[in-house]
């Protein structure tokens, strides 16, 4: 299998993103290479303008504010209930995409010793990452205490996992600003964040999650045929530390 012409990150802000480095690390382990790109874009018009200079196949991780717009403009559908994407692939001119925020969050939780099945997550927010995490957490048998932030968590495949209140094993504020924004303190045995900035280390949960969801993107979208050859999350994090 050959790599794409380009791989990298799109959205804003993205200068702190570890994704291009993750592409290089995982790609090298699989014997693939491509040119890394940072596509700063605050709208789909800006995103598409940037793409005009990129010829050939493209693999991109997408962050805010691009998680919803590609669905209509590029005719890419997100998972049921999540209705957003954070991974895009252009292959022979055709776009496809998926969301790995939720499965990446679950993998990161397991990495730090939190098993979703039977555990309660207190979660603030209702955006695309919140919906993806709610769907994945519920699918793994976990319970959710939804805390309204900038927007409520709407109805979705996670409805049966929602409980009123109680003791939470884990908490996360998904309204924390990107780039290492401060989280609102939530009641739980421990709280994590998925927002990281420049200088973040591989033992921070946000970095663990970005590595986990990146590996899931290779498995589910970029190179499913190489899924069995993908490095482990632990190995990938060790490479980020170097």
Interval 80-96: pLDDT, tens: 888 888 999 999 999 99
Residue 102 scores a pLDDT above 90 = yes
- pLDDT at site 69: 61
Domain 6-99+214-241, CATH: 3.40.50.10860
- pLDDT at site 82: 87
* Predicted structure pTM score: 0.94
Least confident of 14-23, 99-108, 140-149: 14-23
Cis omega (within 30 of 0) on the bond before 13? yes
- pLDDT at site 68: 73
Torsions phi, psi of 10, nearest 5?
-135, 145
Which residue ranges make up each domain of the chain?
6-99+214-241, 102-192
- How far from 176 is each of 65, 138, 180, 200, 219, CA to CA, in Å? 15, 22, 8, 16, 28
CB 41 within 8 A of CB 72: no
- pLDDT at site 1: 74
- pLDDT at site 71: 67
Q: Is the Cα torsion angle 153, 155, 160, 163 positive or negative in sign?
A: positive
Q: Which of 152, 154, 150, 158 minimizes the C-alpha distance to 181? A: 150
Residue 67 scores a pLDDT above 80 = no
């Amino acid at each position: 299998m050959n790599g794409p012409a380009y791989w990298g990150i799109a959205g804003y802000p993205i200068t702190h993103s570890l994704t291009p480095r993750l592409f290089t690390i995982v790609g090298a382990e699989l014997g693939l290479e491509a040119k890394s790109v940072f596509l700063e874009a605050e709208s789909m018009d800006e995103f598409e303008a940037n793409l005009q200079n990129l010829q050939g196949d493209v693999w991109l991780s997408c962050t805010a504010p691009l998680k919803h717009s590609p669905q209509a403009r590029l005719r890419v559908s997100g998972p049921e209930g999540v209705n957003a994407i954070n991974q895009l692939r252009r292959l022979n001119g055709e776009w496809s995409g998926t969301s790995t925020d939720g499965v990446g969050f679950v993998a990161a939780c397991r990495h730090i010793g939190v098993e979703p099945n039977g555990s309660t997550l207190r979660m603030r927010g209702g955006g695309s990452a919140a919906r993806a995490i709610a769907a994945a957490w519920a699918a793994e048998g976990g319970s959710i205490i939804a805390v309204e932030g900038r927007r409520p968590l709407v109805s979705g495949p996670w409805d049966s996992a929602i409980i009123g209140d109680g003791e939470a094993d884990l908490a996360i504020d998904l309204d924390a600003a990107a780039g290492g924004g401060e989280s609102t303190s939530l009641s739980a045995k421990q709280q994590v964040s998925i927002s990281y900035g420049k200088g973040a280390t591989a033992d921070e949960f946000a970095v663990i999650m970005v590595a986990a969801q990146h590996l899931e993107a290779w498995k589910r979208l970029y190179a499913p045929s190489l899924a069995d050859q993908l490095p482990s999350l632990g190995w990938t994090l060790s490479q980020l530390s170097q």
